[in-house]
Amino acid sequence: MTPLGLKLRELRRRKGVSQKQMATALGVSAAYLSALEHGRRGVPTWALLQKIIGYFNIIWDDAEEVLRLAGQSRPRVVIDTSGLSPQATELANRLAERIGSLDATTLAGLIDALDGPDSRAPGRYDD
């Protein structure tokens, strides 16, 4: 599941609607919405994201969060390390090999390390 998928599921549950009901309202198939929630589809178009924001009647910070999470929800990521250091290439390869076995605490630690000690970088979704 992607960060956006998790958020959509949370919003749907709060509103008390099924995937089918939401999909009908947005003009997409329930299968597409399910695939989006489970990370089997890429980031939706800007227009669909706007429909989602309108459907849940969310504004300001909550709407920005949905857009931010969408940007952090590409289910298939490619890291191009050409021209970078050997350590960068090693890190990318080791992460690709092991990311599926890392627990939530380790993942949070890696995200914090990438953000730096005083950073609130875009892409954080644990607020």
What is the per-residue pLDDT across 51-82, written as a single tens digit (0 to 9) for each? 999 999 999 999 999 999 998 888 788 899 99
| Domain-located, residue 15 | yes
Residues spanned by the domain of 109: 78-120
Q: Is residue 125 part of a domain?
A: no
Question: What pLDDT score was predicted for residue 119?
Answer: 55
pLDDT at 118 over 80: no
Does 13 share its domain with 32?
A: yes
Whether 91 and 32 share a structural domain: no
pLDDT at 125 over 50: no
The answer to whether position 127 is within a domain reads no
Q: Residue 60 belongs to a domain with what CATH number?
A: 1.10.260.40
What is the value of pTM for the model shown? 0.69
Which of residues 52, 71, 90 is at a domain's end? 71
For residues 8 and 52, the answer to whether their CB atoms sit within 8 Å is: yes
Q: How many CA atoms lie within 13 A of 48 on its CB side?
A: 17
